[in-house]
A = this chain, B = another copy of it.
Amino acid sequence: MLSSFAAQWLPAIEAEMRAVLASEENAVAAHYGMMHYHMGWVNAHFEAESLPAGKRLRPLLCLMACAEMGGTPAQALPAAAAVEILHNFSLVHDDIEDGDETRRHRPTVWKLWGVPQAINVGDAMFALSFAAVQRLADRGVPAATTLAALRIFTEMCVALTEGQHLDMSFETRSVVPVDEYLRMIQGKTAALIGASVAIGGLVGGAAPGRDEALRRFGQSIGLAFQIQDDMLGIWGDPSVTGKAAGNDILRRKKSLPLLHALGDADVGADLAKILERADFGAAELPTALALLDAAGSRAYAATLMESYYAAGLSSLQAALGERAEQSLLGSTAQWLMQRNS
């Protein structure tokens, strides 16, 4: 069901994004070319290239929410394009902020064209994501609904920058309490998924209150999704994830299980001491993992993930009633929770 929905709508999502990220003007061809490169549509010489597209999870959730509310997904395509373009804007700027030189096995925009152009390319995609939302009005969506969608979209953009601010500020701190971490991923990951679902629902005709329930569903699922990601980063099967066992521990990444163990009264100090060692590496990994076990960090993360998943389902029931679990959104949430990479 999910793969047939995706197969049906992915080409239209891609076409809508291409229509938004377009200019006829030759003088700014490189400006748009860099956007197209980031999207995986062209290579570094701006020649057409067909990279496998990303999952496009957010736009698909947007269209599903529209369908579940009885709307026509085609009408929500501008919103679907908007959330995916916004997501990609944030990746362009994140890559600069984190100093990441590759993304999806290719050099990042800043690496190829420099930080100044990359900042500006991100800004353009940011602006164009708003232009995409406004195209809703061209598809017959009433002005008041389009405006409501823009409000949700804008609040999410602000939340995204707040989450990013917190994430960057964590880098300069040795101790980050778990609740602050959850506040961070609420802004950095969950807000966008929440907005994707809420806006799709609004376009599909969700009555006031229902779009809010859909937003809460998306946010909860987004939190569960991120915690799952954190767990896979430590305990994922290397043959499936393509990353080394304990990868995020080796990178000292402040993800949920590690922060939980660091905050543990019994093992926290020991774990911190190991991580602080200049020569920390694969040899110390078993000891570090044993400390996470002793703190019960894996079970803690799993329980938290499941509670967010349950909260998400409960919000979905508030929006859809009894059919929630069997719905497209319910099945997608379930499918996401079963992934192993």
Contact = CB atoms under 8 A, between A and B. Distances in A.
Interface of A: 23, 25, 27-28, 30-31, 93, 96-98, 115-117, 119-124, 126-128, 130-131, 134, 137, 143-144, 146-147, 150-151, 154-155, 157-158, 160-162, 164-166, 168-169, 180, 183
Contacts of A180: 27
A285 B169 CA distance: 48
B147 A131 contact: no
Contacts of A164: 120, 123
A27 B162 CA distance: 9
Counting from the closest, the 3 A-B pairs by CB-CB distance are A127-B157, A97-B116, A124-B161
Contacts of A161: 31, 120-121, 123-124, 127
Contacts of A116: 96-98, 168
Copy number of this protein in the oligomer? 2
Contacts of A97: 115-116, 119-120
A119 B147 contact: no
B117 A93 contact: no
Contacts of A117: 165, 168
Contacts of A28: 162, 165-166
Nearest to A157: B127
A128 B162 CA distance: 12
Given A130-B150, A130-B157, A150-B150, A31 B143 contact: no
A115 B158 CA distance: 19
B120 A123 contact: no
A128 B158 contact: yes
Contacts of A124: 158, 161-162, 165
A120 B165 contact: yes
Given A122-B123, A123-B126, A123-B161, 6 more contacts: A30-B165, A97-B119, A126-B127, A127-B161, A143-B143, A147-B147
B31 A165 contact: yes
Contact of A154 (B119, B127, B162): B127
Contact of A146 (B147, B165, B169): B147
Given A28-B166, A162-B31, A131 B154 contact: yes
Given A31-B165, A143-B144, A96 B115 contact: yes
Contacts of A155: 131
Nearest to A132: B154
Scoring A97, A120, A164 by chain B CB atoms within 10 A of each residue's CB, the highest score goes to A120
A150 B98 CA distance: 32
Nearest to A142: B143
Nearest to A90: B123
A143 B147 contact: yes
A5 to B, nearest CB: 30
A150 B27 CA distance: 26
A162 B144 CA distance: 30
A154 to B, nearest CB: 5
A144 to B, nearest CB: 4
B168 A147 contact: no
Contacts of A146: 143, 147
